[in-house]
Amino acid sequence: MKAYNTHWMGLMLVVAAIVIGPQLTNNGFYLKIMFMIGVNYLAAAGLNVLVGHTGQKSLGHAGLFAVGAYTVAVLTARHGWNPWVAFLAAGVVAALFGALIALPALRVKGPALAMVTIGFGIVAEKVVAEWQDVFGGQAGIYGVVPPTWGSQSLDDRDWVWLVSALCIVTHLMLRSLLNGKYGRAFMAVNTAEVAAESVGVSVYRIKVIAFVISAVTCGFAGALIAQQNQFISSDFITFNMSIFFLLIVLFGGSSVYGPLLGAVVLTLLDNFLARWPHVQHFTYGALLLFALYAMPDGLSAWLRSIAVRIFPGLARHPALPSALSPWRLHANEALEANRPLLEAKGLYKAYGGVVPTNDVDLTLRTGHVHSLIGPNGAGKTTLLNILSGVVEPDRGTIRFNGTDVVGMSINGVARLGLARTFQNLRLFVDMTVLDNVKVGLHRHMEAGFWSCLFGSRLSARSEIQATEEALQILGFLGLADKAYERAGSLPYGVQRRVEIARALATHPRLLLLDEPAAGLNPHETRDLVDVIARIRDLGITVLLIEHHMDLVMRISDHVIVLDYGQKIAEGKPAEIQSNPRVIAAYLGTEDETDDANDVVTGATHG
């Protein structure tokens, strides 16, 4: 509540400055700088969602700026549209192009995605420069119609107030969006895409949303420039513009306030250096290197760290509730006990001459703890990846709760009620423990995109309910006191448990645990046995991959053994302990059963 009040007090001060500031000067140059700060903020605010939060690299947003600018120019100057309607249309058309650019985002990432966006920016620049009949070529389009207040044309002050109003609305909407389920989803995709998919977040949908948001704000920025100048030409649309927008985001930082800080500093610097154009690019490059070295999280994070040192109260978290209700699985997720939940037949996967999964059949029954064991290289994790949709088998069928899931996306499988952890931890390390678990609750939260964007009551209520349930899950695993700690800063064993908490938040019918005891000390391993038993008692079926044989034999109802990609045995733990094929697989020779039991029942086998 204190942070909420501080935000609104700060916003009121900003509004007062915006109202009063333009009235303190008649200098058109100064008013133009204020206007450009607003335009640059608009372009960078959406780009910050794409780059700073979702981690998608874009160097072609000058092309989206051009889409907005030329849309409003063509519609008003050539077709006589109302300038306000044309302005809104510029955002819509830019959104369509943003969705178009997002199409390759599922297949390429990092530098390759940056090259795609560069290509779009270059194509856009060439099209408007060469297509004279539509876009006026290099001569551009004159007579772009600006908006009016009634019958009054906007003067320099009015333009500052108009862009400022748009900036405030944009800030409030993006703040609401980024502080909710979509903000966590953006950061989850940025950190670990497969982990985000595994809890039911559609990575591709999130990327498309981020691209569209960045396109809309950039399109509006372009439309404002065209209408304020009443002219647009290809001279406005350069690769340097894309670099400048990106620099604002990187320099300002990924905080919701970062684009504002970056826009203010770099717009002022840009105008100061305009008299020395030969040093502009050098200065920008040096500034970017300095920012990345001295302020890797941007100016906003650097200023916050200083503020926290001066006012420690800014870093305080809400008090944890004194008592938490017991966490329970959703009633509609519970299934009748001891019936087939997952049935796989003839699963086969080959990588060249290596066959980690070779015609494997298995059946997992509800309410049981199943364990998948075998020597290193037996194909256990590959099989787990196939079952969870991470890897598609070359042949074979998988039916989960009556649904064929072969070829289904990872998030599609997760939405059916299959959750998992990973052999190599895939936490969202820069998020708090609480937010990691709330990402797991993503698909269960009622609020949709528009509700979150506009900060509706439904969105607020969903956040409160998600926080309460996430704390219940953490309490179930003995982690409530870690709720506000950064996940990546915790000890390894605690991180393992946080990953289980995130998986439980999806309300799974089947939980796949890939070596959950790896790296745990004996005490933590004993605690893990109790955790798995309590998860089973909730009505969740468990499939466990584990090398700690004492854990496997203590907790399992049913054990499946793989060797060189083939299932060589299955049955109750006691049957597996004395199975000659299992003994041979673990020892490499058929020695005496008593010797084999030392391995199969002994603590750990790597």
**pLDDT band of 588, cuts 50, 70, 90:** low
For the residues 272-281, what does the mean pLDDT come to? 76
For 15-35, how does the pLDDT look when each residue is reduced to its tens digit (9 = 90+)? Answer: 788 878 788 888 889 999 999
| Dist. CA 541–CA 558, nearest whole Å | 11
| Dist. CA 401–CA 395, nearest whole Å | 20
Helix/strand/coil for 286: helix
**Could you tell me which of 230, 174, 206 has the C-alpha nearest to residue 43?**
174
| Number of separate domains in the chain | 3
Helix/strand/coil for 75: helix
Mark whether 262 and 398 lie in a shared domain. Answer: no
For 100-124, how does the pLDDT look when each residue is reduced to its tens digit (9 = 90+)? Answer: 888 877 677 777 888 888 888 888 8
318 falls within a domain: no
Most confident of 134-148, 293-307, 532-546: 532-546
Mark whether 140 and 254 lie in a shared domain. Answer: yes
For the residues 528-541, what does the mean pLDDT come to? 92
Q: With 80 as the cut, is the pLDDT of residue 355 above it? A: yes
For 559-577, how does the pLDDT look when each residue is reduced to its tens digit (9 = 90+)? Answer: 999 998 999 999 999 888 8
pLDDT at residue number 604 = 37
What are the start-end ranges of the E strands in 159-252? 231-232
**pLDDT band of 595, cuts 50, 70, 90:** very low
Least-confidence region, from 3-12, 252-261, 379-388? 3-12
Mention every residue, 6+ apart, whose C-beta is less than 8 A from residue 90: 67, 68, 69, 71, 72, 75, 219, 220, 222, 223
Using CB atoms within 10 A of its CB, is residue 157 exposed (0-12), middle (13-18) or buried (19+)? Answer: middle
| Concatenated DSSP letters of 28-53 | HHHHHHHHHHHHHHHHHHHHHIIIII
**pLDDT band of 283, cuts 50, 70, 90:** confident
For the residues 405-417, what does the mean pLDDT come to? 93
pLDDT at residue number 19 = 79
328 falls within a domain: no
324 falls within a domain: no
For 442-501, how does the pLDDT look when each residue is reduced to its tens digit (9 = 90+)? Answer: 999 999 999 999 999 999 999 999 999 999 999 999 999 999 999 999 999 899 999 999
Mark whether 374 and 485 lie in a shared domain. Answer: no
313 falls within a domain: no
Instruction: Report the chain's mean pLDDT, rounded to a whole number.
Output: 88
Tell which phi-psi region holds residue 110, choosing left (phi > 0), alpha (psi between -120 and 50) or beta. left
Mark whether 541 and 490 lie in a shared domain. Answer: no
What angle (nearest 5°) sits at the alpha carbon of residue 62, between those of residues 269 and 115?
A: 110
How far apart, in Å, are the Cα atoms of 229 and each of 133, 164, 274?
Answer: 21, 17, 19
Helix/strand/coil for 134: helix
Mark whether 202 and 57 lie in a shared domain. Answer: yes
For the residues 60-85, what does the mean pLDDT come to? 93
Helix/strand/coil for 287: helix
Mark whether 212 and 129 lie in a shared domain. Answer: yes
**Could you tell me which of 17, 13, 7 has the C-alpha nearest to residue 161?**
17
Mark whether 490 and 461 lie in a shared domain. Answer: yes
pTM, full prediction: 0.90
Please report which residue ranges of 253-341 form alpha helices under DSSP H: 258-272, 277-294, 298-310
pLDDT at residue number 3 = 56
For the residues 418-424, what does the mean pLDDT come to? 93
Across 170-195, b (16+ Cβ under 10 Å) vs e yields: bbbbbbbbbbbbbbbbbbbbbbbbeb
Mark whether 515 and 503 lie in a shared domain. Answer: no
Q: With 70 as the cut, is the pLDDT of residue 57 above it? A: yes
561 falls within a domain: yes
Question: Residues, the chain, total?
Answer: 606
The CATH number linked to 92 is: 1.10.3470
Mark whether 12 and 156 lie in a shared domain. Answer: yes
- Name the one residue in this structure whose structure tokens are 């960078």: 44
Structure tokens at 287: 């500034």
Q: What is the largest CA-CA distance in the chain?
A: 98
65 falls within a domain: yes
Tell which of 487, 507, 527 closes a domain. 507
259 falls within a domain: yes
CB distance 202 to 409 below 8 Å: yes
- Domain hosting 495: range is 430-507
Least-confidence region, from 49-58, 59-68, 145-154, 188-197? 145-154
**Could you tell me which of 255, 307, 230, 242 has the C-alpha nearest to residue 69?**
230
Tell which of 489, 507, 525 closes a domain. 507
How far apart, in Å, are the Cα atoms of 130 and each of 140, 244, 356, 559?
Answer: 10, 24, 55, 69
Mark whether 488 and 515 lie in a shared domain. Answer: no
Mark whether 154 and 265 lie in a shared domain. Answer: yes
Mark whether 372 and 497 lie in a shared domain. Answer: no
CB distance 533 to 522 below 8 Å: no
The CATH number linked to 352 is: 3.40.50.300
Q: With 90 as the cut, is the pLDDT of residue 237 above it? A: no
317 falls within a domain: no
